[in-house]
Structure 1
Amino acid sequence: METLLQGMTENWTVWFVTAVLIVAAVIDGAILKVPNWLTFPFILCGWVHWTMQDGVSGLGWSLLGTVVGMMLLLVLRNVGGMGAGDVKLLAGVGAWLGTVVTLWAFAATAIVGGVMAVIMILASGQWHKHFAMAHQILHEWKTVRNPSKLATIARERKPTMTLLPYGIPMAIGSIAYFAIAGMLL
């Protein structure tokens, strides 16, 4: 117990990010949205914290983490693969924990998200429908070179899709990475 309390004190930023990820996952699971009232202060407070902690270099470190977190999901967002809240949530992870941790958290998130998507598809009993849709989406990505047109196509398709609230795999994957990397103790 003492080790856990010491770890929480020493790694409070990781515990704070963990708490925000859990709140985001619960909200996303309930309403399929990660709200701005959570993501914008999350990002801004990361910038303020690291500026106060390490001055301009801390702000630069935090801004770089924010940009990396945002860019990792922005392409998928721009073609309708996920919501803007998911993008801002990973940007917030970057603002607080930096580039390297964000890259690893993203990798773990992608694995968890992929597994969850496969489970959802298999549970729906509509494997062929989802396989055909995935094939169609890949074909569109190859042939339609206009990102705004791809986004329009994705918006039109969205009502027919089973949606995965990506805040859930982001929380599970990121927190699992934090635990495996020893960042919570």
Structure 2
Amino acid sequence: MYSYATEAQLYLLLALLVPATLMDFTRHRIPNYLTYPALVLGLCLAALSWGWTGLGNHLIGTFAAGIPLFLIFLSGSLGGGDVKLMAAVGAIVGFPNALNALLASIMVGGLCAALILIWQGRLWGLVQYAWSTLGYRAGILSQAPQPPPAHRDSFPFGVAIAIGSCLIVVPPTLMGSG
């Protein structure tokens, strides 16, 4: 069943997410000196707390959280620091919390992206392009639509990882409700 993180996991998670979020937001970089030690400490904490079973669970969490973002990274849509941050979160919180944190992070990131597109007035153009593309692929339209102008904006996905992970892992009593 669902279980919240232990106190040590919460402290380690927050010690990772707070500086990573600030650095990603201000510099658009999440440094290795934050992610690698957190990943190793998360696995060590699991091994010390729950033995081989805990280590295995947290290794699965590492890969369950990291591999999907790595595949997105290969497309060029995500930075390597985001991948390593999510893998470190998986190492700290284990499986299935890591998978839940990944899904929550993706939803938070999608919501933030939609809000940014609305703010910039670009959402409707992208929706029209997507709809026209579907019509062209289905054979309804005879001519491929022209994509909207490309923008070089980037969203610091580490912020979404931090929010999504905290929504899943941090107990409601620590967030002020409860």
TM-score, with length taken from structure 2: 0.75
CA distance in 2 between counterparts of 1:164 and 1:132 reads 22
Alignment root-mean-square deviation, CA: 2.8
What residue is the counterpart of 2:155 in the other structure? 164
The answer as to 2:38 corresponding to 1:42 is yes
Asked if 1:89 is matched to 2:80, the reply is no
Task: Give the superposition deviation at 1:54.
Answer: 2.7
Contact 1:25/1:167 (8 A) holds in 2: yes
1:102 aligns with 2:98: yes
Structure 1 unaligned spans of 5+: 1-6, 143-158
1:13 to 9, 34, 37: 9
Distance 1:132 1:71 in 2: 32
1:9-39 deviation digits (Å, cap 9, x = unpaired)? x523123213311211110001111111111
User: For residues 1-185 of structure 1, what are the structure 2 equivalents within 5 Å?
Assistant: 11-127=7-123, 130=126, 135=130, 160-179=151-170, 182=172, 184=174
Change (3 A) 1:95 1:183: farther
Alpha-carbon deviation of 1:67? 1.0
Overall identity of the aligned pairs, in %: 29
* Unaligned runs of at least 5 residues, structure 2: 138-149
Structure holding more helix per residue: 1
Deviations, residues 112-171 of structure 1 (Å, cap 9, x unaligned): 1111101111212233665588x5xx99xx9xxxxxxxxxxxxxxxx9421010001111
| Letter of the 1:176 counterpart | L
Highest RCO, 1 vs 2 (Cα 8 Å, sep ≥ 6):
1
Deviations 1:59-116 (A, max 9, x none): 2222111111111211111101111111111111111111111111112111111111
Higher alpha-carbon deviation: 17-26 or 83-92: 17-26
Question: Compared with structure 1, are the counterparts of its residues 43 and 102 closer, same or farther at alpha carbon in structure 2 (3 Å cutoff)?
Answer: same
- Alignment check: 8 A CA contact 1:15 1:184 kept: no
User: Residues of 2 paired with 1:131 and 1:47: CA distance?
Assistant: 42
Corresponding residue SS for 2:76: coil
Q: How far is the alpha carbon of 1:56 from its aligned partner?
A: 2.5
**Alpha-carbon distance, 1:44 to partner:** 0.9
Aligned length: 156
> Rg bigger for which structure?
2
Report the TM-score when normalising by structure 1. Answer: 0.73
User: Structure 1 residues 42 and 52, CA, compared in 2 at 3 Å: closer, same or farther?
Assistant: same
Q: Which moved more, 1:105-114 or 1:45-54?
A: 45-54
**What corresponds to 1:151 in structure 2?**
none
CA contact (8 A) 1:11 1:184 kept: no
